A and B are shown apart, each in its own frame.
Chain A
Amino acid sequence: MHMDKKTKDNLITYGIVIAAFLVVEVLAMTGKLSSHMGGLLVPMTYYAIIAVALNLCVGILGELSIGHCGFMCIGAFTSATFSKVMADKIPSGPRFFIAFIIGIAVAALFGFLIGIPVLRLKGDYLAIVTLAFGEIIKNVINAFYIGVDSKGFHFSMENQMALNLESDGTMIINGAMGITGTPKDANFMIGIGVLLISLVIVLNLINSRDGRAIMAIRDNHIAAEASGINVTRYKMLAFTISAAIAGSAGVLYSHNITTLTASSQYFGYNASIMILVYVVLGGIGNIRGSVVAACILYLLPELLRGLNKYRMLIYSIVLIVMMIVNWSPKVIEWRKRTFANFGFKKKVKVVK
């Protein structure tokens, strides 16, 4: 069977994910996996997923987004609302599946709607508008009050009392207090499954005709337009898919932790920038790199817990050093010169 370089490359990516999954499963089965590590697995998968989504937007489409956690937020809230309402009515398997469909669909819808104005802009102007939308989503959800009672759904943007719930009513989304008590349906296997699906979607997109069109727009949109590529259509396509995948990360997020609040530390621009850090450090346009970088950078502060209050300080230094080592033209030049005569293995070691 003929296998071109790209297919091989993609298979390596899937292989790494599957191998990582198997290693963890073996460790878990033999009881070698600590609770701490066990708890980090699902977050690692959803951060890897949203990093892949953002890389599609930043690396492949070439548009800087610093509001991607907004889509994650939408996916998380819509799916958690569904799961909470249906908690006793549908068994957990199909319920979680439908929650995924809802979360992804709504995130994609918002990706599409937001994409219409956003993608007309360029460069930093575009970036700031994505930031703006991320903040708008967060702020609006914080003012959402949805409750359900025997008469059906009640909705308000003011406060809980405006809902006029009956005494048997329950709050679904309670403003800043968000959603509590979402069923904990997510696990590592589902997380890895979703990660693999999003990798298949993104990698196939990149290697398809559509993907080449998208990258042509990134490299030179005027030339692409001149070659007959429908710029708007392809930009929207990539942006919507990216939003949908971010939404699926949100679904995993909300079904892994029982409290969901639309606060800055989860869905604000800071969180979005954190994802951008994963993407840039893993390599812009390098999908596999995003997965790996997301895992490493999510693990890093956790592994530094022993340093107590110096933890985040050390983390920031490591981040700066890693960026300079990986990206500085001078360092790259120096590395090339110094290690030109050595074997591949040594290079790897030194880079580390």
Chain B
Amino acid sequence: MSFLTYLINGLSLGSIYAIIALGYTMVYGIAKMLNFAHGDFIMVGCYVIFSISGALSGNGVMGTVIAVVVSIVLCSLLGITTEFIAYRPLRGAASPLAVLITAIGVSYFLENLALIIFGADVKSFSSVITWKGISFAGGQLKIQGVTIVTIVISLVILICLQLFINKTKQGQAMLAVAEDKGAATLMGINVNKTIMLTFAIGSALAAIAGALLCSAYPNLSPYVGAMPGIKAFVAAVLGGIGSIPGAMIGGLVLGIVEILSKTYISSQLSDAIVFGILVIVLIVKPTGILGKVIQEKV
């Protein structure tokens, strides 16, 4: 019974990693760039919800819905703007690392801007999910509402993204851009527009992930997104770069492994164990759980 409790705890944590990883892998898989600022987009989304729902606190559920919608829109805009100002000029730079460093610059910028605007102290985030969840076995097993909602939303996003990418023209364009930018241009695809759309979607997903992250773990600070961002990166790699279902599985696996290693091995060394397992998985399967093996040509 206690094992089941821990497993459910792992699922709660993993579902949060998974939903962040979905947004992360969008940008990562298509634009082929490590967006280190993704975690900070999450942070921005949380602050937007916090500020707006604070202002609309009298309006109950409507207030929350408005706050989340505004946060999604603003995050999309932020993603598009960041891409336009900081990332687009470096497309085609001599090294792909250039844009990685700029992303770090953007991450510092957002964190320090939030620090100046909102101050360093943590703020307690009111959960956007008020549902308490369900209990089994006479209350001994309990799944929190936010966990169920997160998993459902992750699945919905997963299905929507899969449909979008495989069934729509823009989605196909994204795949083409991911495969080969030059060839995509030759096929009449507007690469800039496609990547902009990718960022818009990825950042909107960051806002949704942020709302759920802060609902599950209600401490809001300028650095709230940094560590989840890295964990999402790990989850995306674990699942296989560019694979959307992979990101979801990677996130869930990461969360469960983290909780179980804390429980049964050592809470002091759980970071080391989680990363150790990542290393082992990648050695056994060098392209992640669902990653494709690409044959190299000379």
* Interface residues of A, Cβ cutoff 8 Å to B: 58, 64, 117, 120-122, 124-125, 128-129, 131-133, 135-136, 139-140, 142-143, 157, 220, 222-223, 226, 269, 273, 276-277, 280-281, 284, 309-310, 312-313, 315-317, 319-320, 323-324, 326-331
Closest CB in chain B relative to A204 CB, distance in Å? 25
B233 to chain A, nearest CB (A): 7
Contact A128-B233, Cβ < 8 Å, known A136-B275, A139-B269: yes
A222 touches which of B268, B279, B287, B298 (Cβ 8 Å): B298
Report if A329-B92 is in contact (Cβ < 8 Å); known contacts: A128-B234, A133-B275, A320-B109.
Answer: yes
Extra 15 A-B pairs, beta carbons < 8 Å, given A222-B296, A273-B36, A323-B102? A58-B97, A64-B97, A125-B288, A128-B278, A132-B275, A135-B272, A277-B101, A277-B104, A280-B97, A280-B101, A320-B102, A320-B109, A323-B105, A324-B90, A329-B92
| A–B Cβ pairs within 8 angstroms, 30 of them | A117-B283, A125-B286, A128-B233, A128-B234, A128-B282, A135-B275, A136-B272, A136-B275, A136-B279, A140-B272, A143-B268, A157-B269, A220-B298, A222-B296, A273-B36, A280-B100, A309-B115, A309-B116, A313-B109, A316-B105, A317-B109, A319-B101, A319-B104, A323-B90, A323-B101, A323-B105, A324-B102, A327-B94, A328-B90, A330-B89
The 10 closest A-B pairs by CB, nearest first: A316-B108, A132-B275, A327-B98, A320-B105, A319-B105, A316-B109, A139-B272, A328-B89, A313-B112, A139-B271
Contacts of A323 in B (CB 8 A): 90, 98, 101-102, 105
Contact with A327, one of B90, B237, B268, B286 (Cβ below 8 angstroms): B90
Closest to B98 in A: A327
Query: Contacting B287 at CB < 8 Å: which of A64, A125, A284?
Result: A125
CB distance from B51 to the nearest CB of A (A): 20
Chain B positions within 8 Å of A, measured between CB atoms, are: 34, 36, 86, 89-95, 97-98, 100-102, 104-106, 108-109, 112-113, 115-116, 230, 233-234, 237, 241, 266, 268-269, 271-272, 275-276, 278-279, 282-283, 286-288, 296, 298
**Distance of A76 Cα from B279 Cα, bound (Å):** 24
Q: Is the CB of A132 within 8 A of B106?
A: no
Considering the complex, give the chain A residue whose CB is closest to the CB of B226: A270
Tell me what chain B mostly uses at the interface: helix, strand, loop, or mixed.
helix
Q: What is the interface of chain A mostly: helix, strand, loop, or mixed?
A: helix
Contact A327 B105 (CB under 8 A): no
Q: In the bound complex, how far is the Cα of B282 from the Cα of A120, in angstroms?
A: 10
Q: Does B283 lie within 8 Å of A319, measured CB to CB?
A: no
Residue in contact with A280 in the complex, picked from B95, B237, B241, B269, CB distance below 8 Å: B95
CA distance A312 to B113 in the complex (A): 9
Q: Given A128-B233, A329-B92, are A117 and B279 also a contact pair (CB < 8 Å)?
A: yes
> Could you say which residues of chain A place their CB within 8 Å of the CB of B94?
327, 329
Question: In the bound complex, do residue A312 and residue B112 qualify as a contact, i.e. CB atoms below 8 Å apart?
Answer: yes
Residues of A within 8 A of B298 (CB): 220, 222-223, 226
CA distance A307 to B101 in the complex (A): 23
Q: How far is the CA of A291 from the CA of B230 in the complex (A)?
A: 28
CB pair A121 B116 closer than 8 Å: no
Cβ-defined partner of A312 (8 Å) among B108, B279, B286: B108
Q: Please tell me if the beta carbons of B237 and A124 are within 8 angstroms of each other in the complex.
A: yes
> CA–CA, A139 to B91, complex, Å?
36
Q: Which residues of A contact B276 (CB under 8 A)?
A: 132, 136
Contacts of B101 in A (CB 8 A): 276-277, 280-281, 319, 323
A319 in complex: contacting residue of B108, B113, B233, B237, CB < 8 Å: B108
Expressed in whole angstroms, the Cα–Cα distance for A320 and B83 within the complex equals 12
A325 → chain B closest CB, angstroms: 9
Chain B residues with CB under 8 Å of A280's CB are: 95, 97-98, 100-101
Give the CA-CA distance A276 to B96 in the complex, in Å: 13
How far apart sit A140 and B90, CA to CA, in the bound complex (Å)?
A: 38
> Measured between alpha carbons, how far is A139 from B93 in the docked complex, in Å?
36
Q: Which residue of B lies closest to A58 (CB)?
A: B97
**A contact residues around B278 at 8 Å (CB):** 128-129, 132
> Closest approach, in angstroms, between the C-beta of B253 and any C-beta of chain A?
14
